[in-house]
Amino acid sequence: MSRDQENTLTIIVPCFNEEEVLPETLKELGAILKREINNQKVSSKSKILFVNDGSKDQTWQLISEYSAKYDYVTGIKFSRNYGHQNALLAGMSVAVKYSDMMITIDADLQDDVNAIPKMVEKYFDVYDVIYGVRSSRKTDSFFKRRTALAFYSLMGKLGVNLVPDSADYRLLSKRATESLLRFKERNLFLRGMVPLVGYRSTKVYYVRKERFAGKSKYPLSKMLHFALDGITSFSIAPIHLILYLGLLTVVISIVCMVYTIVEKCLGHVVSGWSSLMISIWLLGGVQLISISVIGEYIGKIFSEVKHRPRFTIETENYTQKMKEQN
């Protein structure tokens, strides 16, 4: 170990209605953390930090019980549901005061916890950002694989620097986390924000598993909304596309106008009902799409300028436990 620090690790786990999987999550993460402590890879002050994102089931009760029973378990409770990305950010904002490295991982155990020691090893190789990257997408449906590839391809063409097949399973050093927390936007897309931090980065590959228990908290509708947030938060290309679409419509209109005049001069006057209806529907559709895209950006501006807090923490015992150990 050569970082000249205590090397305190905090594993941040966002939770939303995870009572079915939480006991197994604690078992597996606890075993990994204790092994790293025993091997003197990380400080004995290292913790697992569960962030309860407004769960309606027994998730917070379980976190409270584990926190009272185990010194290495801590928790944060939101006053309501603020979303997965805000839960990650809240965990980092609390943990960064006492931790030298932070690992974020979902509670569903699809991300292989055995990649954590590899991430820690990379940290000691003086990397500040270590991405957990899936070695394959065999566990995904054909539809999900194709749409994921299309999304990464689209984001790349829009100039957004993403790490393909990497979600929110990563290790960040203290200084990388502090830099990330200086990003103040409310429309969070951490997969795009983390690469903007810079610093030396690398990847750790792992095999993604099936969800251990419970249902996915990211159905198709949420995935589409997440993708839209990613696009509109990092690129104004859709607005440029509207400009090109408008120019194309003008060109087509000029061609149609010239054609109409020529036909009129030649005396080939026919009923124009079909062409008129097609034109109305085409232009109406273009206008509605254009207004919707512009409205999406205006909506984000509206959210940003109000400067409302990203989240409200109702209960938190991480700080108290760390103060007691210090």
Domain ranges of the chain: 9-216+311-325, 237-305
Crossing angle of helices 318-325 and 84-95, rounded to 10°: 20
Residue-by-residue DSSP string for 8-72: -EEEEEEESS-TTTHHHHHHHHHHHHHHHHHTTSS-TT-EEEEEE-S-SSSHHHHHHHHHHH-TT
Give the pLDDT band (50/70/90) at residue 218: low
pLDDT tens sequence across 63-87: 999 988 898 999 999 988 888 888 9
Percentage, residues of the chain above pLDDT 90: 21
- Give the model's pLDDT for residue 324: 75
Give the helix ranges, DSSP H, for 203-272.
220-234, 237-266
Q: What is the pTM of this model?
A: 0.70
Which backbone phi and psi does 73 adopt, to 5 degrees?
-110, 130
Give the pLDDT band (50/70/90) at residue 171: very high
In order of 191, 250, 252, 262, 269, the CA distances from 259 in angstroms are 50, 14, 11, 5, 12
Q: Structure tokens of 139?
A: 């566990």
Percentage, residues of the chain above pLDDT 70: 67
In order of 118, 183, 209, the CA distances from 137 in angstroms are 21, 31, 10
User: 143 pLDDT exceeds 70?
Assistant: no
Which residue carries 């694989």 as its tokens?
Answer: 145
CA distance 157 to 177: 27
- Give the model's pLDDT for residue 174: 92
Mean pLDDT calculated for residue range 143-156: 63
Mean pLDDT calculated for residue range 297-325: 75
In order of 50, 109, 110, 216, the CA distances from 213 in angstroms are 17, 9, 10, 9
Give the pLDDT band (50/70/90) at residue 257: low
- Average pLDDT taken over every residue of the chain: 78
Which backbone phi and psi does 207 adopt, to 5 degrees?
-95, 120
User: 237 pLDDT exceeds 70?
Assistant: no
pLDDT tens sequence across 107-121: 888 888 999 999 999
Chosen CATH of 9-216+311-325 out of 3.40.50.300, 3.30.1330.60, 3.40.50.620, 3.90.550.10: 3.90.550.10
